[in-house]
Amino acid sequence: MIRRWTSRPERLLPTVSLLAVVLAFAGSPVLTGDALTTFDVYNALQGFAQLGLLALALGITMIAGEFDLSVVGTYALGGMLAVQTGQSSPALGVLVAVAAGMLIGAAQGGLIARLRIPSLPVTLATYIALLGLTSAMSGGLSKSYPNSDATLWVDRTVAVVFSPRSLITLAAFLLAALVLGRTRLGRELRAIGGDRRASRVAGVRVDRTVVGLFTVSGALAALGGALLSYSYASANPDPGLQPLILAAVAALLGGVSLAGGRGLPLGLLCGTLSVALLAQIVTTAALPDYTTQLLYAALLLGAIDAPGLRAAIGRLRARVPVRSS
């Protein structure tokens, strides 16, 4: 069992990354001189909620060998639509945002699947177009959200360390893990990412799967943007590139391969938690902002396919005698 676990980077890398960050988080009082509190954990989970749905949206496309750059544009548009249409009914705003995200994702997926073109230029063009559309909707300015009840609800404390926003994000990861782990869809996504032509020969409905994948990615990104805008009581027409960078970092720490064909939702969950905990360590210890980037870079050096780590694990396994049954 140990050998099977350590031979799969999509399981090993997220586990090692999260364990290292959790240990650093637990040891952060050495730097601050103050004991950790439940509020520190709550803040870390709020950071997880802010990034999680975006990382999940990007990560599942990477498993299939695609890269959905448009998630940040959909993230911004979803937030703007939720703020503008959900002032009297927050649920309606979320539904409008998610529906728009699904339409955008389905259109992209259909174009990529039908024409069999790389996703990168298509999603980059969509990202630019969505930022322009979002800016036009708000006149280039942030749009405030006056429904204070919704703002207070999404961030209210649940079970000491959670909020509705973080619980919704966690539920999305667990649902993705259930669907991709218990149905053939997970195997098909990894097969498509590993070898698309062989997948077609094996009978996988590649085009339909790609369309569905981008539809889900768009829905997740829009939902994340809507919840964040409710939390901040405003929608930003241009969130910048940092959310995309952090989502990519979370996916890589979660064991997803840039080449496709590898990755699990629970690994993405571990990667996202690692990023959120690192950010909280920097905040708690009052370290300079650039420290966060240095810490992410240090983890990525060991996480991107981690040849040194796997070699070390291989040497360790070789030293352990195999028990005969």
Please report the domains of the chain, with CATH numbers, ordered by start residue.
6-313 (1.10.3470)
Residue identified by tokens 């409008």 is 96
Is the per-residue pLDDT at 6 higher than 50? no
- Does residue 213 or residue 196 have the better pLDDT? 213
DSSP assignment string, 91-126 = HHHHHHHHHHHHHHHHHHHHHHHHHT--HHHHHHHH
Q: What is the DSSP letter of 320?
A: S
pLDDT at 313 over 60: no
- Tens digit of pLDDT for each residue in 166-212? 999 999 999 999 999 999 999 999 899 988 888 888 888 999 999 99
Residues written for the chain: 325
Joined together, the tokens standing for residue 166 give 């973080």
End-to-end CA distance of the chain: 14
Q: What does each C-alpha distance from 99 to 77, 90, 192, 283 come to in angstroms?
A: 11, 14, 26, 35
pLDDT digits (tens, 9 = 90+) for 259-307: 888 899 999 999 999 999 999 988 888 778 777 778 777 777 755 544 4
pLDDT at 146 > cutoff 90: yes
Percentage above 70 pLDDT, the chain: 89
**Average pLDDT of the chain to the nearest whole number:** 88
